[in-house]
Amino acid sequence: MTTTLLNDAGIAERVFHHIANGTTDMCDEVWREPVANYRMQERLEREIRHVLRRSPAPFCPSAALPEAGSYVARPAAGTPIVAVRGRDGTVRAFRNVCRHRGMEVVAGSGCAKVFVCGYHGWAYGLEGKLQHVPHEHGFPGLDKEAHGLVPVAALERNGIVFVRQDGGEAAVDEAALGGLPQLIAADQKLLWVNERDTEANWKVVLEGFIEGYHIKSTHPESFYPYGFDNLNVVETFGRNSRVIYPFRRIEKLKDVPPAERNLTGYVTYVYQLFPNALLVMLSDHASLVVLEPVAIDRTRVFTYTLSHRGADTEEALAKAKRDADFVANTGSVEDRAVVCAIQRGLDSGANEVFTFGCFEPAIVHFHRTLDAALAA
């Protein structure tokens, strides 16, 4: 298992080796995942209860909470959660549920000085404390200190806000994040947020991001003309992985001294952040993609699109938009069609297992890690 990720020089060296030898990174085992694990309600409930809620899961980029009072409210692992940046700059997260009658206190994203429930007007501060109850005399003996929003563990690291719903009030153990590198820089701006449902199991959606074996067949006119057939660098670190998709133009760097090789614009990085998120770094933008299972056969996909590092000019932002539009209108459409077709085939009885081969090491790592988390 990789503990230190390769730098640009190391990645380029490995890519050039694969180009010269017609090879790719491989693992030494074939993984057979029972199809029942994509079809059983009981399995999905265990994944949500024992993994998605108990793991520190990516919730949103730090850039979504740029100032005091900034908040993001959305369902996570079936639970309404709100993350908010306090006046002290600290990000906190709460179950987004009023302590009076259980209504969601806030929706969407924005900036607020106080959260006011739209049902009866109970108001909560950014630190979750119950501050105001209309006609409070009608609730004799109400202990406001005991009726604040219920906190969940939150940790902001490397440009991402992680939330762990279950596991007590103890802080998130940074070791559980697996030694994440700096992922999203402080100068990267949130450009837009997209939310849509995909008619497929969340694991089927995730698997499509983290292997390059499908590029030539699935993306013959969108991605493949710029990339390679089944050529990837794959690294694992902790419970996470990184898959690197080189562009053909990387060969322009062959004559550049190794220490001077900068791979920006020459590769796409896909980080699989366990359990249910991906950070995709493309030529002119990045996206944090969070997969929230809604049902066995439906996944809500939250995509946070960000500018590139150091790209705050009007020209750079225009490039980011063109880059993101290209991905959304070509590769993402093609991938969505594939995963929905897989979902339609799950109940056919054709397969008892899905066979993930040696060309799909990041998927093998994901399933091995998921099984271990369920067993624990």
Both 337 and 275 in one domain: the answer is: yes
The boundaries of the domain holding residue 78 are 57-172
Both 46 and 71 in one domain: the answer is: no
Both 297 and 193 in one domain: the answer is: yes
- Residue 349 belongs to a domain: yes
Q: Angle CA(372)–CA(281)–CA(340) in degrees, nearest 5?
A: 60
Query: Is the confidence at residue 97, as pLDDT, over 70?
Result: yes
| Per-residue CA distances from 143 to 101, 121, 129, 136, 347 (Å) | 16, 17, 11, 11, 52
Both 36 and 96 in one domain: the answer is: no
- Residue 359 belongs to a domain: yes
Alpha-carbon distance of 227 to 266, in angstroms, equals: 10
Q: What is the pLDDT of residues 200-244, one digit of tens each?
A: 999 999 999 999 999 999 999 999 999 999 999 999 999 999 999
- Residue 3 belongs to a domain: no
Residues constituting the chain: 376
Q: How confident is the model at residue 165 (pLDDT cuts 50, 70, 90)?
A: very high
Q: What is the pLDDT of residues 278-323, one digit of tens each?
A: 999 998 899 999 999 999 999 999 999 999 887 677 787 888 888 8
- The last residue of one of the domains, among 150, 172, 194, is 172
Q: List, in order, residues 6 or more apart from 333 with CB less than 8 Å away.
A: none
Interval 246-271 mean pLDDT = 97
Alpha-carbon distance of 130 to 134, in angstroms, equals: 12
Identify the sign of the CA torsion 312, 315, 318, 322.
Answer: negative
> Which pTM value belongs to this model?
0.95
Both 229 and 304 in one domain: the answer is: yes
| Per-residue CA distances from 314 to 82, 308, 310, 317, 331 (Å) | 32, 12, 12, 5, 25
Both 278 and 362 in one domain: the answer is: yes
Q: List, in order, residues 6 or more apart from 142 with CB less than 8 Å away.
A: 133, 136
